[in-house]
Copies of this chain bind each other. A is one copy, B any other.
Amino acid sequence: MTSIESKFKALGTDNAPGQEVRSTAGDVSRLMVGEPIHGTFVDFSHGDVDAFVPTPGAFERFQDGVEAGGRQAYTEYRGSATIRDEVAARLATFTGASVSSEDGLIITPGTQGALFLAMASVIAADDKVAIVQPDYFANRKIVEFLGGRILPVQLDYFTSEGRAGFDVEQLREAFDAGAKVLVFSNPNNPTGAVYSSKEIHEIAQVAGEYGATVVVDQLYSRLLYSDAEYTHLRAQDVDGEHVVTIMGPSKTESLSGYRLGVAFGSKHIISRMEKLQAIVSLRAPGYSQAVLRTWFNEPMGWMAERIRLHESIRDDLLRIFREARLNVRKPQAGSYLFPQLPALRVRTLDFVRLLRLQADVTVTPGSEFSPHTAGSIRLNFSQDPVAAAAAARRIVEMTSRYQT
C-alpha cells in the first residue's frame, strides 16, 4: 500500500456524525431483537437548527453582505478588517485578554476550518502531539493526516467532581517524550466536562515550562450551565504566542449553515494559518462573514433563554439515562451527553445501526472520540425537548433489549 493509500484508509468518515446516510455497513436487520420501536426520528449526531433556530438578524446581516457587493465578497484571506475589528473586541471582553484585530485573529470556514489550519500550522510529519482522550474526533484525524504522532492524555471524566479529570502528570510525560503541541477542547466534546480553574492553570504552567504550543477549542464555552465556572487559558499567565483559541457560532448560535469560525491569539500562528487558508479555501464565505456582526451581540436575554432551555433538556435526558442505571457524566456546558452502555450482545457499531433501523434514533459511536470509549454513545441534545426525551427512552429500551 502506498503511503497515501494508507493515510486515507486511516481517515475514515463512515461513523462520523452526519454521514450515516453513506454508511455501507452490512445488513444489521438479522441482529434485530423484538419489533421496531417507532417515534419521531431524532438525529442526535448534530443539533437541530429547526428546534433551536439561528440567531435573530443573522439572515439580514447576510443580506447586507450581499448588498455590500464586491468588498464583502472579496475580503482579505483572514477576513474582513471591519468585521475582525468588531469580533476581536467582543472576544477580548469574553475571554478576558486582548485580541489584535490586525494580526491576532482569522475568520475561517467553520470552527473545523480553524482547527485544521491551526493544527496544520504547528504540526509537521513525525511531530509528537498530546491529544486528550476522549476528545473531538477530528483532533486525532488531523494529527494522523499531517503525519504526526499522537501521545494520548486520558480524561477521567466519570469520577471527577467540579473538574474535567485532566491528569497533568500525563501531559508532562507527553512533553517529556517530545510533544511540542497540546490540542484539547474545553468544554470537552463529547463529555461536556469543563476544565477547572486549577486544571487550566496547571496546563498553562506545564506548557510554559516546556515551551509547548496549545490549541484550545472553546466552541461550546458560551453554553455554560448554572453550576459551571469557566477559565480561559489565554487569560492566564501564558506566552500568548504559544496559544491559539478557537471558537465559532455554529453550535449554540445555530449558525452552522453559514460556515463561520475564528481562531485568535498567537500572531505568528495566525499568520501561518492565513497563508494556508489562501491555498485551502481562500477565505471564509464573504457574505457569511457579515453574519458575525450578530455574534456576542444577540438580543438581550436571548442567550440566557437558550441556555435555560438546553439545561432543562440536559436534566430530562440525564434523569432518563440515570433511572436506567446508565453511567453518564452530568455536562457542565455544551449540548453533548456521553452515556456508557452496559455490555451488549452486539458490537456498539451495530447497536448504533440498530438504533437507526429499529428505534428512529441516530447517535455517534464513542469509538470516534477515543479507543477507550467504544462502549459509549454521544448525543447532541440540542433538539426538540419532547422528541429528545422520547428518543432517549427508546435508547434505554433498546439498551435493555440488547444487554447481555
A278 contact set on B, CB distance < 8 A: 11, 13, 16, 19, 138, 141
- Is A279 within 8 A of B76, CB to CB? no
The distance in angstroms between the C-alpha atoms of A2 and B16, with both chains bound, is 34
- Is A116 within 8 A of B18, CB to CB? no
A50 contact set on B, CB distance < 8 A: 69-70
- Is B59 within 8 A of A138, CB to CB? no
- Is A281 within 8 A of B74, CB to CB? no
With A21-B76, A74-B18, A257-B285 known as contacts, the answer to whether A109 contacts B112 (CB < 8 A) is no
With A125-B3, A281-B113, A282-B112 known as contacts, the answer to whether A11 contacts B256 (CB < 8 A) is no
- Is B4 within 8 A of A257, CB to CB? no
Partner of A4, one of B22, B69, B123, B279: B123
The distance in angstroms between the C-alpha atoms of A257 and B288, with both chains bound, is 8
A251 to B: closest C-beta gap in Å: 12
Query: Is A184's beta carbon under 8 Å from chain B?
Result: no
- Is B4 within 8 A of A66, CB to CB? no
A21 to B: closest C-beta gap in Å: 6
Query: Is A330's beta carbon under 8 Å from chain B?
Result: no
Residue interface mask A1-37, B partner, CB < 8 A = 1: 0111001100111001011011000000000000000
- Is A65 within 8 A of B257, CB to CB? yes
Tell me which of A138, A281, A283 has the highest count of chain B C-beta atoms within 10 A of its own C-beta: A281
Query: Is A121's beta carbon under 8 Å from chain B?
Result: yes
The distance in angstroms between the C-alpha atoms of A286 and B256, with both chains bound, is 8
- Is B18 within 8 A of A76, CB to CB? yes
Query: Is A90's beta carbon under 8 Å from chain B?
Result: no
A278: nearest residue on chain B (CB-CB)? B13
